[in-house]
Amino acid sequence: MQNYYKNRAEEYEEIYLRDDPTRQEELRKLEELMKETLVNKKVLEIACGTGYWTRLLSETAQSIIATDKVQQVLEIAKEKQYLCPVSFHIEDAFKLSFKNASFNGGLANFWFSHVPREKIDCFLTNFHRVLQKKSEIFIADNVYIPSIGGELVIKKGDNNTYKRRKLKDGREYLILKNYYSFEDLLKIFSKHITGFSKDNIFYGNCFWCLTYELE
């Protein structure tokens, strides 16, 4: 997957430009909720990619440490203009190097679907470890739309799903991409967050997002 994002870096943000009113409306809703949830926070961003959400969040956050495993996407992110202090770090989302309770805001957009199901607990435990009590968190990702989402690939003995992705130059990749229903999200996050309820979830036609506060 890291190889795919390294080679896709230049064309990545085209996904946010699709001319579909529902998508655009939901993207703006996500943007608004994200900015509101993380206003004035010292934010750790997981898998920031080319900095699309980092730039938007910089309008309301106090500061952002934006992380990704792939240098090539960070190089693109670094070229953008930000409205709050932002620094970029190479980090593996499963092995964060920050000290416990280093931040009071957490952001992970379009990353959760790439986490293997067997590593969800590992990711959330790590993520929450570096956040202070009462931190605010925002996580967003895709809803599966069969008509545009393409075929999901299933492997025997593996409960993750995969998608075939083709770059403009013709190179093809098989990428882990898991989709979650409203009920799945409720179940997964209730396990990690006391009091997590349906009110913490927005589930749209194209995207979902979660906002919650750590205990």
Residues that bind ligand SAM (CB under 6 A): 1-2, 5, 47-49, 52-53, 68-70, 73, 92-94, 109-111, 114
CA distance 22 to 181: 19
Contact 86, 54 (CB under 8 A): yes
In the complex, the smallest distance separating the C-beta of residue 205 from ligand SAM, rounded to whole angstroms, is: 18
Complex with ligand SAM: residue 95 or 156, whichever CB lies closer:
95
Looking at the Cβ atoms of 96 and 193, the one nearer to ligand SAM is 96
CA–CA distance, 208 with 139 (Å, rounded to integer): 8
**Closer by beta carbon to ligand SAM, 41 or else 114:** 114
Residue 134 Cβ vs ligand SAM, minimum distance, rounded to whole Å: 24
Closer residue to ligand SAM, CB minimum distance, 66 or 188: 66
d(CA 66, CA 173): 26
The residue with tokens 């960070």 is: 74
Nearest residue to ligand SAM on Cβ basis: 49
Closest approach, Cβ 141 to ligand SAM, in A, equals 9
Question: Do the beta carbons of residue 57 and residue 137 sit within 8 Å?
Answer: no
Q: How far is the CB of 215 from ligand SAM (least distance, A)?
A: 25
Considering only CA atoms, which of 131, 60, 47 is closest in space to residue 89? 47
